[in-house]
Each structure stands twice: as C-alpha cells, then as structure tokens.
A and B are shown apart, each in its own frame.
Chain A
Amino acid sequence: MSNKLQIRRSFLLLAFLAAAFVGLAARLVDLQVVRHDELSAKAEENTEREFWQAPRRGDILDVNGNILATSVAVKTVCADPSLIGNQQLLVARAIAPLLNLNANELAQKLVPRIVRLPDGDFVTNGLHYVRLAKNIPEETWQQVVAAMAGLKLGVDEKKLPRADRDFFRNLRLHSVFAESDQMRIYPNGSLASQVVGFPGTEEYKIDGHLITQIIGRDGVELTMQKALSGVAGWRVTEVDRAHHELVALRDEDVRARDGLNVVLTIDSAIQHIVETALAEAVKKHEPKSITGIVIRPSTGEILAMASLPNYDPNQPNTITPATRDRVITDVMEPGSTFKIVVVSGALNNGVVRLTDQFDCEHGHFLFAGRVLHDAEPHGILTTKEIITKSSNIGAAKIGIKLGAQNLYDYAWNYGFGQRTGIPLPGEARGFLYPVKDWSKDSIAQIPMGHGVAVTRLQMVYAMAAIANGGWLMHPMLVKRLQDRDGNPVQCYAPERVRQVVSAATDHLMVEALKTVPTKEGTAPAAAMKDYVVAGKTGTAEKAEHGVYVHGKYMASFIGFFPADHPQLCISVVMDEPKDGYYGGPVCGPVFRDIAERCASYLNIPPDPKLMTNAPALVVENTARKL
C-alpha cells in the first residue's frame, strides 16, 4: 500500500518537475528564440554605447614650421532640461556669467519644450538635449562643473525623500554636460589670412549620431580639406550604471586618423615683412587695395602673398568681399609690365636686337585710326631704351614687327589667359582673346598692356620666367604634407611648365630690365644699395563699364634681384593710389623696402659688383682655432 502511495507521489513529483521544466524551456525558447531580436536590442540599448571620435584637424604651418592655423580642444556645453525641473533660473544664474550669456535667455533655453520632429513625432527639446554654448575652453568648463556641484537649493536634502534626493543629484551632476569639440585658431591673426583661408562648421549624421566637423571655406583650408580633415573613428562598448565605460567589454575600437599637417612654402617672416611694407604704403598712398607677392624664381615657391585690406580669420565678422585675395581673383590690364612679353618674344624670334633703333614719334603715333601716346616724348630709342623709358610707341612698333600670332603665342606661353594652377580657390583666368577676335589696333595696344586682362599672379610668374632662364614655373604653395609627429607623408617638388624664351634671349632681357631701376629708367626708387635689380614698372588706366576712367590708375612694379643670380622676384601693385600714380615712384620704394628686408632676413650675399667700395675687412677665423 505504502509502496503504491510512494510510487504515486513520485510520479506526481516527477510530473510536476517535468511540467516546470517544460514551462521553463518554453519560456527560454520564447526569450532566446522567438523574442531574441527584440530583447537583444533592448539589452544592447541599456548597456551598449557607440562613441564617435572626431579626428583632430591638421595644422597649417609655414615653411619653417611656424603655426599659421591650428585646432584647440574646446567644449560644447549642453543641458538636459528634463533633469532641471523648475530650477532653470537657479542653474542659469550659476553658469551664465561663466559662459558669457544672459541669465534670463539661458533660463528660457532650459525650459523643457515639446518639439515636433520632421517625421511627425513629438519629443521634449529634441531628446533631452539643448546646446548652450560652443567653443568653451576646458578651464571654463571645469568652472561650470564646480558651479553646478555647488548649487545651493535652500533645502535640507537629507530630510527629503529618496526620489527628491536623486533629482537634486542628477541636477548637479548630469543636467549640464559637455561634448568634446575643437576650435580653429589663427595665432598670427591676419597674417597670410587670404592664403590660409577661414573655416566653417558642418553637421551631419552617421548612424543617427550628429557629427560636427570643421570644414574650410576659403584658402588652403578649403583646397586641402581632404588632407586636413582626417577620418573619424568609433568605439562600440558597454557602460555601467554610472555611465563609466567597461573597457573589458569593448566590442569595436577604431581610432580616428588625425588630419595631416600642411606645410606651405610661405615664410611667415617674409609674409610679415611684406604686410608691414604694404601697410606703410597704404598710409602714404591710401590706395583702394594693394598687393604684394614674393616668389623664388628658380622653384616657383611662393614665400609671401598679401592683399590689403585683409581679414582676421579669428573674427569672422571681418571677412567681407573687399578682403578677397585680389592676387588671384581680380584681373586688370597690366600696363607696361606686359612689355616684357612682346620684347622678349621679338628678341627670341630674332625679329629685333637689343640695339635696333625705333622712332618713337615724339610721343604721338597714329595707328589704325588711333593715336598712341607716351608718358614723355621720345625720339629714336633702341629696343633696350624702349624698356628703360617704357615707351608705348616703341613697344607697339616691336609688336607690329613680331606679328599678331607670335605675340598671342608668347603671351599664352607666358601663362596669360589660363589659370596658373595655384592650389587656392577662385583663381581667375584673365582675358587673352584669340587673334581672330582682335581689333585693328590690338597689335599696337596689347604690347603696351592694354586689351588684355591678367591676374597679379600671372604677371609675377611671367617676370619670374625671365629671372629663371626663360623657364616658366608652376606656382608652388604647398611644400609637403606631414603627420602629427612631423614625418613627411607627401612632398611636392618644383615643377617646370615650359621654356618660353631661350637662355640667350633671357640674358638680353635681364640686361634691358636692369636699366629700369636707374636714373635713366622709370623706377630709380626701386634700386637697392647692395644689389643690382632688374624690373619693370607699369601704370594702367582703369577701365570701368568698358571705358577708361581718367584719374584712376593701377600702379605696379615687378622686379627681381640680384639681377644676375635672381633669388627673389617681387611684385607690388596698387589700385588707385593717391599722391602719385606712376608705378616707378609709387610702387618702386615699396619694392625696395620689401627687397632689402628680405635680403637681410634670407642673408642673400650682396652683389659683388656693388662691393668695390667696401672697406677691406680681415677677420680672424677663430672657429678653426677652437
């Protein structure tokens, strides 16, 4: 009897256990198989976090490693209004002075609001998130943290219920938080601002994450955007209740690749020299604008490129259309500086020799129904003297001798009518019309720099070609890309475009151009004490709405030194200068000022020919004794 009872009880227990296990198994199947996707997503949502790592934007450096643009780590201060309750004014008063904000306006931002998303859903302040201030330094953020931690709420919190205590705890610790960000700064302010450019920010979403990225808007910041920006990284990991990362449970960890540093050919010392000299010239002549370029003729490296007025990229409100980089964006009639094209072309083709004589008609020459004028009347002048005196009539006669097609070909070969390819945005081509579109007098107008429009960069590179044995160089602005530790990633070498004129012709041209900065020439003020200078002046009447405007001039001087072994080629152009308008007297002294300071800085040896009067100097070489 008892055995049967025992067996029955055992079966009952077994059945109960079996039912329990079946129930558990069913629940397990439900959780692990049927609702697997839903529940695993929920679990991941609770613990797994995805962090995006913004790459650090690369620096822009000058040729000597001086910083022209860099990024600094800053904070974007945000708040979760849902954790603030009705304490908006208290929080606002605590942190508004630190963030330089108005307390009442800040309090308004902290009030939870219902926001309708584009997809039609309603959320509170865009998912408990409101941005309070950007570009806040780390030190200021620490002050904000301290201010929030020290909030005096006027109640004895120990006596409050746990829910209220948690509210105050969250208010102090989590209601105001910060996101890491970076800000672009330019330590030298407006120095080379048009070359370096300025930044903007762009926000985009990756997998639902809002990413803020600095992007270039102008200058090298824009053209080298890809190299500077780097690649974002990410980390998929789990966090504990206090939002601390559980490193052991990291799933994916791909580090951000920082942007590369861009090393320019610009030398900030020379840039400073140029900008200082231009600023002094602005005080004296009050031009509408003034530009200065310094390049190395043998390599095409741009050592300085300035245009005034300019802007400070740290202060975006200073950026206006007037502060554009006129060196590459504006075109102008070059005036007499263009004579180097026609004379070098004619010499190269053997059409004229330096000693050939031309009748300059005493300042009045009727050609194709139009009278050409010279600034001063001249009689018979040699080709060389046409350059020295800058005779328009002489240049026109050489142009007629050279022929329209040849003149056009030489102008094209010198790079006019096409972009130089400088890595900066907004470069203009200029205007060089094909021969079929020329008027009857174009052949006489173009040799004296009328009827063509060039950029200042094209003009200085044409002159640099003469300083470089006739070889036109490609403008070089970026020297190399390097990583954060200074290891080169990509280097750029000087690039020849073409040889426009032969070395022999080039030598003749240099001899002619040497006579310009002399007492007999048009630019005695450009002559240097210790160096022989070769160069050419230019004075062009400005054209507005298709007609020349009397009294408005573009004055220019482009030269290089030492004339026989050119190290630097410098261009100075003034738009509507006052107190004189001829290129020689207006731009010549600015050229000399820049050239002398650059020669001193670069330690360019003085021209031996000018050292004959130097006192004999004997120096004991103590270095050998040591």
Chain B
Amino acid sequence: MSKNRKNQAAVIRFGPALKASFLCLLIGGSAVGYVWQKNEIFRLGRQIGQREAQLRQLRADNKQLSDQLAILHSPVMLDRRTKELNLGLAPATPMQVVRLEEPAAPAAPNHLSRQFTQRSLDSVTP
C-alpha cells in the first residue's frame, strides 16, 4: 500500500491535469463570457435608450422648426408682415397678369424664328 502511494506521488500524469485545466478554463471562460455578454447587453441597452431619447428630441425639434417655417409661410402671416413693413405691395389685378400661351412644338430643328405670344381674346389659359 505504501509502495503504491510512493510510486503514485512520483508520477506526473499530464493528461488528466490538462483535461482538468481545460475544463476549468472552459467553465471559467464561459462564466467570464456570460458576464461580459450581459454587460454588453446592458451597455447597448443604455445606448439604445439614449439614442431613442435623442431621436425623440430630434423629431420634436424638427416638428417645432417645420411648424415655425409653415407659420412664417402662411398667407395670413405674410399679409400681416407686408402691412407692418408698409412695402406698398398689392395683389395684381387680373388685367395686369400676362398669360402666355403654351408654345407649339418646334416644326423642324432649324426653325429658329422668334416666337411671340399675343394676349388672346378667346383662348386664354389659366
């Protein structure tokens, strides 16, 4: 019995030691990997949350700016500003509007004569 023990102590068994080390590394690595993965999930989750908040804010800003632009473009606002600035602007009367007829398609490529449009009495176009 004592002889066997003496012999066993003297022998270094690399195979089982390597297996044990590999198993430990595997378990340890899995644990570290799991923790790292969880950490990443929460980190990315925070980033997603921040980005969502940023997107919400940008959408709100965009809406606010487009509303401001629309209000500044509105006919009522333009009319009010025109009156405030006293620019002397007035809508054109229908007789002051010159309506051009749609030009006819060119008959030939070398037909380069000046084209004129006369105010028509019977075929006005809107």
Q: Is the CB of B103 within 8 A of A614?
A: no
A187-B67, A618-B116, A621-B115 as given contacts; A73 in contact with B94, CB under 8 Å: no
Residues of A at the B interface (CB closer than 8 Å) are: 65-67, 70, 72-73, 138, 187-188, 191, 244-249, 268-269, 272, 529-531, 596-597, 599-601, 603-606, 608, 611-612, 614, 616-621, 623-625
Cα distance A229–B15 in the bound complex, in angstroms: 72
Tell which of B42, B94, B116 touches A248, judged by Cβ atoms closer than 8 Å: B42
B residues less than 8 Å from A269 (CB atoms): 75
Known: A72-B64, A247-B44, A614-B95. 12 other contacts (CB 8 A): A66-B70, A66-B74, A187-B71, A187-B77, A248-B41, A596-B93, A603-B126, A608-B122, A611-B95, A619-B100, A619-B116, A619-B119
Q: Is the CB of A608 within 8 A of B121?
A: yes
Q: Is the CB of A67 within 8 A of B117?
A: no
Is B125 an interface residue, CB under 8 A from the partner?
yes
Number of A-B contacts (CB under 8 A): 108
Q: Is the CB of B126 within 8 A of A605?
A: yes
Q: Is the CB of A619 within 8 A of B45?
A: no
A residues less than 8 Å from B70 (CB atoms): 65-67, 187
Tell which of A67, A244, A529, A619 touches B74, judged by Cβ atoms closer than 8 Å: A67
Q: Is the CB of B115 within 8 A of A66?
A: no
A191: nearest chain-B partner, CB-CB: B76
B residues less than 8 Å from A611 (CB atoms): 95, 119, 121
Is B16 an interface residue, CB under 8 A from the partner?
no
Query: What would 14 A/B residue contacts be, using CB atoms closer than 8 Å?
Result: A66-B70, A70-B67, A187-B77, A188-B74, A244-B46, A245-B49, A247-B49, A248-B41, A272-B76, A600-B93, A601-B91, A605-B125, A621-B103, A624-B115
Query: CB-defined interface of B91-126 with A at 8 Å, one 1/0 digit per residue?
Result: 111110111100100000000001111110110111
What's the least CB distance linking A261 to chain B, in Å?
12
Q: Is the CB of A604 within 8 A of B116?
A: no
A residues less than 8 Å from B99 (CB atoms): 605
Q: Is the CB of A620 within 8 A of B94?
A: no
Q: Is the CB of B116 within 8 A of A621?
A: yes
A246-B42, A247-B45, A608-B124 as given contacts; A187 in contact with B74, CB under 8 Å: yes
Is B5 an interface residue, CB under 8 A from the partner?
no
A56: nearest chain-B partner, CB-CB: B63
B residues less than 8 Å from A65 (CB atoms): 70
B98: nearest chain-A partner, CB-CB: A619
A residues less than 8 Å from B73 (CB atoms): 66
B residues less than 8 Å from A67 (CB atoms): 67, 70-71, 74
A residues less than 8 Å from B103 (CB atoms): 621, 623-624
Cα distance A281–B46 in the bound complex, in angstroms: 63
Tell which of B46, B75, B91, B93 touches A530, judged by Cβ atoms closer than 8 Å: B93
Cα distance A596–B97 in the bound complex, in angstroms: 13
Cα distance A608–B124 in the bound complex, in angstroms: 8
Q: Is the CB of A620 within 8 A of B49?
A: no
B residues less than 8 Å from A623 (CB atoms): 100, 103
Which 10 residue pairs across A and B have the least CB separation, nearest first?
A247-B45, A269-B75, A248-B45, A605-B124, A600-B91, A606-B94, A187-B71, A530-B94, A617-B119, A248-B41
What's the least CB distance linking B59 to chain A, in Å?
9
Q: Is the CB of B116 within 8 A of A268?
A: no
A residues less than 8 Å from B126 (CB atoms): 603-605
Cα distance A625–B112 in the bound complex, in angstroms: 9
Q: Is the CB of B118 within 8 A of A620?
A: no
Cα distance A73–B122 in the bound complex, in angstroms: 55
